[in-house]
Structure 1
Amino acid sequence: MVLTDTHTHLYYEADPAARNAMMQRCTDQQISRLFLPNVDAASVPMVADLVQNYPQNCFPMLGLHPCSVTKNWERELQEIKVIWGGQKYYAVGEIGIDLYWAQDLLAEQQAAFRAQITWAKEASLPIVIHCRAAFNEVFSILKEEYDEKLRGIFHCFSGDLTQANQIIELGFFLGIGGVVTYKNAGLDKVVQQIDPKYLVLETDSPYLPPVPFRGKQNESAYLTYIAQKIADLHQVSVEKIAETTTLNSEKIFGI
């Protein structure tokens, strides 16, 4: 069995011993593929370090998180590209729009999102979308930018069935994380109605830990709880969910 965490910030753990222990727990749980989105220029070296230490398991993305967008977003995005240099990366992400914390930089977030979609298309790469309290704003841009080159993951999906189907119709996959295990979130009822061929697994660690770890720091090793929940919802084996979602991740990232 091979499990794939398509979205983890495991690189935030600065202590090498603690980080190595986290990676060992992933290995113990057969989680052998981890995709790492940076969030800004400062996080790029952290991603690079983890990839360098675990080149067979860790695969980088590159982008500017909407919560890191400022009025100088173009300069920040260029700095990200310069710092990374000519190294390989597997997606542009995480990118998108976040109106949960503030709405005063919506125009800048929209511009940064569009620019990074163009970047991904030019590089023939998928995008990994962060969307919080901004589904209509994000989906409107996706529809405008839609063509045969636009593809990727709607990270941390927690919407309703109608929204899920809209995303799937555009050819995107839904990233399902710990929220699916939350009793009152309602995501379990949505996921139960979606064919796993449209899903990928993620933890978004150190955020959004699944039950029974709510209130604690999340880590990629907890991906097994998410996989098991989805398996239970669809009444199939966890091995089947692992196989399907890992195959989906291979289609998206090309590895």
Structure 2
Amino acid sequence: MIDTHCHIYAEQFEDDLAEVLDRAAQAGVDHIFMPAINFDSLPKMEQIAHLEITFHKMAGIHPTDINEGTRTTEEELYGYCSQDDIVGVGETGLDYYWSDEYKSDQEQSLRIHCKVAKQLGKPIVLHNRDSTDELLNIIEDEQDGNLRGVWHSFTGLEEEGERAIDIGLALGIGGIFTFKNAGVDEAVAKLPLQHMILETDAPYLAPDPKRGKRNEPSFVKYTAQKLAEVQGFSFEKTVQITTSNALELFGISS
């Protein structure tokens, strides 16, 4: 399995990182993709290692960090993302949940990330909270045939998922999808598995039956089980398809 979105470098894992990674490997996780919160995330990623798991780094500025005053330029972001060991641009996106005061700043940052992703041919990783229409409008506007990426932690309606796929995005399926009464499973059941990848967003948003606990990469198996159930595939087939999707999206050889 692949965890395509995991903040394994976060302070929540400082005390038991080795044990967390051992559990991930035992669960069958062999790739972990690490999105950045800001550029300070990158040195922390360098400290992560495990014999049985391959780690992949991304570079970018999270939209809530924009609210806190973090900014970047196209040139600076390009400098980070053009490094050979950076496989994706982000996470970036929009988040209007906490405040709508910084909408224009977040949108400007998102467009910078889109431009760099297109220049480098690397996928963009998109955070979305209370901003679906605005986010998809910007991606549609920036799409020139060279932009690809993922709507991380997909929580949309069926028609929103279809629109995202149509404009070149994969859907990142994570913990919220497994929550009872969230309704995300109903949309996911009607959308094509060929455009989905698995993620945890650890240490956040642990899936059922671990909801409320610190999330970790091994918990991706619970999301895979639920996804197999709603899609009508076997667990093995679901893992095979989502793994292939993830490797193709990020340009990683199997």
TM-score of the superposed pair, with normalisation by structure 2: 0.92
Mapped contact 1:4–1:32 kept (Cα < 8 A): yes
How many residues align? The count is: 251
Q: Look up the match of 2:93.
A: 96
SS of 1:148's equivalent in the other structure is coil
TM-aligned CA deviation for residue 74 of structure 1: 2.4
- Tell me, in whole angstroms, the C-alpha distance in 1 between the residues paired with 2:70 and 2:7: 24
Alpha-carbon displacement from aligned partner over 1:108-156 (angstroms, at most 9, x marks no partner): 1011100111111111111010011001111111111111110010000
TM-aligned CA deviation for residue 235 of structure 1: 2.2
- Tell me, in whole angstroms, the C-alpha distance in 2 between the residues paired with 1:31 and 1:77: 35
In structure 1, runs of 5+ residues without a counterpart are: none
In structure 2, runs of 5+ residues without a counterpart are: none
Mapped contact 1:34–1:59 kept (Cα < 8 A): yes
CA distance 1:254–1:85, shift in 2 (3 Å)? closer
- Decide which of 116, 121, 134 is 2:118's aligned counterpart: 121
- Decide which of 41, 47, 53 is 1:43's aligned counterpart: 41
Q: Look up the match of 1:210.
A: 207
Residue 152 (structure 1) aligned with residue 149 (structure 2)? yes
- Decide which of 194, 217, 225 is 2:222's aligned counterpart: 225
- Tell me, in whole angstroms, the C-alpha distance in 2 between the residues paired with 1:72 and 1:210: 30
For 1:185, give the aligned amino acid: A
CA RMSD, Structure 1 to Structure 2 (Å): 2.1
- Tell me, in whole angstroms, the C-alpha distance in 2 between the residues paired with 1:49 and 1:248: 27
Residue 165 (structure 1) aligned with residue 159 (structure 2)? no
CA distance 1:15–1:152, shift in 2 (3 Å)? closer
Percent identity, aligned pairs only, is: 33
- Tell me, in whole angstroms, the C-alpha distance in 1 between the residues paired with 2:199 and 2:149: 14
CA distance 1:55–1:37, shift in 2 (3 Å)? farther
TM-aligned CA deviation for residue 41 of structure 1: 2.4
TM-aligned CA deviation for residue 82 of structure 1: 6.4
Counterpart mapping for 1:126-137 below 5 A: 126-137=123-134
- Tell me, in whole angstroms, the C-alpha distance in 2 between the residues paired with 1:59 and 1:123: 16
CA distance 1:251–1:87, shift in 2 (3 Å)? closer
TM-aligned CA deviation for residue 59 of structure 1: 0.4
- Tell me, in whole angstroms, the C-alpha distance in 1 between the residues paired with 2:44 and 2:12: 8
SS of 1:90's equivalent in the other structure is strand
- Tell me, in whole angstroms, the C-alpha distance in 2 between the residues paired with 1:12 and 1:55: 20
For 1:33, give the aligned amino acid: H
TM-aligned CA deviation for residue 16 of structure 1: 5.6
Q: Look up the match of 1:189.
A: 186
Q: Which stretches of structure 1, 4 residues or longer, exceed 6 Å deviation after superposition?
A: 80-85
- Decide which of 2, 5, 8 is 1:4's aligned counterpart: 2
Q: Look up the match of 1:73.
A: 71
Mapped contact 1:44–1:83 kept (Cα < 8 A): no
Mapped contact 1:210–1:226 kept (Cα < 8 A): yes
SS of 2:206's equivalent in the other structure is coil
